[in-house]
């Protein structure tokens, strides 16, 4: 290599060095944007912290769902079978908890959360077949829904997402459909039916919205993700049953980061997968187990404004936090 460079004339050597530097910088940019897939034994995201254990005390969980993150980095968790919401700071320090009233329809059973642009919290209540909207302070502002198959009614509401305009989208697992509402619960439209064709669903188990208003639905029993417009028009789909990159088994949760990368809780494979907004596989991490970075049926995922990923590790009764490996390495060197 040295002798080759010595044989080059100064002009060619300068151009060669510039090309090497440019390529190295390009690699760094790709890595920083999450476009490089980690090699064997490496992970694109590194474990930062984890909190929770099975139980009913503050900071403990019984099969956590969600989670959701607000603009301040607070993490909200649907502590499903303790029938409450718990709030933590970004490091997992317990902040508060609350629950609602039992009704004739059943207990206050939260199974999904979403936070809007103004940090208002939306909670899906399974047994009561309704959605409730809370202020950042935890005050109930409005609620809507009832058991049934008509417009604005639910049989098995399982997921909620809110777009930048404040429209809420609710997935119904048993009716295989998505409904769109205003932030005060006024019904706007519905789409979907049982099936495996584009725009049809079998158990839509998760929903998210990107910065451009596109809707992403985890079509759990069809082992795929579908991308649709905010009016319900089919755009794209990806995934099939399996354990290879881009394949899925009973995916459940889904989240979108600020660059519109898509994160899917691939529950049956006990891992998280990352895709572009067009469905190109980017990276994956996790395996079955109880160690740090391992999962037991991850049921939900959220991403904060800094790119940290929070996973509801359902069967391990805990939340795990991960950071991009490239950023974590840079921070450790400063």
pLDDT in tens, 277-320: 999 999 999 999 999 999 999 999 999 999 999 999 999 999 99
pLDDT band at 327 (very low <50, low <70, confident <90, very high): low
Which residue has better confidence, 106 or 48? Answer: 48
| Whether the model pTM is above 0.75 | yes
Cβ atoms within 10 Å, residue 169: 23
Q: How much is the pLDDT for 89?
A: 97
pLDDT in tens, 239-271: 999 999 999 999 999 999 999 999 999 999 999
Question: Would the pLDDT of 158 be above 80?
Answer: yes
Structure tokens at 17: 């060095």
Strand order in the sheet with 298-303: 45-51, 318-324, 309-313, 298-303
Give 276-283 contacts, CB < 8 A, sequence gap 24+.
277/210, 277/214, 277/227, 278/236, 279/225, 279/227, 279/236, 279/237, 279/238, 279/239, 279/246, 281/37, 281/245, 281/246, 282/34, 282/35, 282/37, 282/44, 283/34, 283/37, 283/38, 283/44, 283/45
The residue-averaged pLDDT of 171-192 equals 98
Q: How much is the pLDDT for 13?
A: 52
As a whole number of angstroms, the distance between CA 45 and CA 301 comes to: 14
The residue-averaged pLDDT of 189-218 equals 98
Q: Please state, for a pLDDT cut of 70, what percent of the chain lies above it.
A: 85
- Please give the mean pLDDT across all residues of the chain: 89
Q: How much is the pLDDT for 32?
A: 40
The residue-averaged pLDDT of 164-183 equals 97
Beta strand pairing status for 130-134 and 121-125? antiparallel
The residue-averaged pLDDT of 86-109 equals 91
Which residue has better confidence, 213 or 103? Answer: 213
Question: Would the pLDDT of 127 be above 50?
Answer: yes
pLDDT band at 25 (very low <50, low <70, confident <90, very high): very low
Close Cβ partners of 92 (under 8 Å, ≥ 6 residues apart) = 49, 50, 51, 52, 59, 75, 319, 321
Question: Would the pLDDT of 3 be above 60?
Answer: no
Question: Would the pLDDT of 83 be above 70?
Answer: yes
The residue-averaged pLDDT of 112-136 equals 96
pLDDT band at 48 (very low <50, low <70, confident <90, very high): very high
């Amino acid at each position: 290599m040295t002798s080759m460079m010595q044989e080059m004339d100064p002009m060619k050597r300068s151009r060669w060095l510039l090309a090497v530097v440019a390529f190295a910088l390009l690699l760094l940019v790709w890595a920083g944007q999450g476009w490089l897939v980690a090699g064997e034994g490496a992970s694109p995201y590194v474990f930062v912290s984890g909190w929770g254990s099975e139980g009913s005390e503050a900071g403990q969980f019984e099969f956590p769902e969600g989670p959701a993150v607000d603009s301040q980095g607070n993490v909200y968790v649907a502590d499903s079978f303790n029938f409450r919401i718990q709030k933590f700071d970004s490091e997992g320090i317990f902040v508060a908890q609350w629950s609602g009233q039992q009704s004739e329809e059943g207990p206050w059973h939260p199974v999904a959360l979403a936070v809007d642009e103004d940090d208002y919290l939306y909670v899906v209540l399974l047994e009561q077949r309704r959605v409730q909207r809370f202020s950042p302070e935890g005050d109930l502002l409005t609620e809507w829904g009832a058991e049934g198959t008509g417009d604005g009614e639910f049989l098995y509401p399982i997921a909620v997402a809110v777009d930048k305009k404040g429209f809420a989208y609710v997935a119904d697992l048993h009716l295989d459909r998505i409904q769109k509402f205003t932030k005060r619960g006024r019904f706007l439209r519905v789409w979907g039916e049982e099936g495996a064709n584009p725009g049809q669903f079998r158990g839509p188990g998760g929903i998210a919205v990107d910065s451009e208003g596109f809707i992403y639905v985890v079509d759990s029993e069809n082992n795929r993700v579908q991308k649709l417009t905010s009016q319900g028009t089919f755009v794209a789909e990806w995934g099939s049953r399996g354990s290879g990159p881009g394949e899925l088994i009973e995916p459940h949760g889904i989240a979108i980061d600020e660059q519109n990368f898509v994160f899917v809780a691939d529950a049956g494979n006990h891992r998280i997968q990352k895709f572009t907004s067009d469905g190109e596989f980017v990276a994956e991490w996790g395996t079955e187990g109880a160690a740090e970075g391992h999962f037991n049926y991850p049921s939900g995922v959220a991403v904060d404004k800094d790119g940290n990923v929070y996973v509801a590790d359902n069967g391990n009764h805990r939340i795990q936090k991960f950071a991009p490996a490239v950023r974590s390495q840079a921070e450790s060197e400063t």
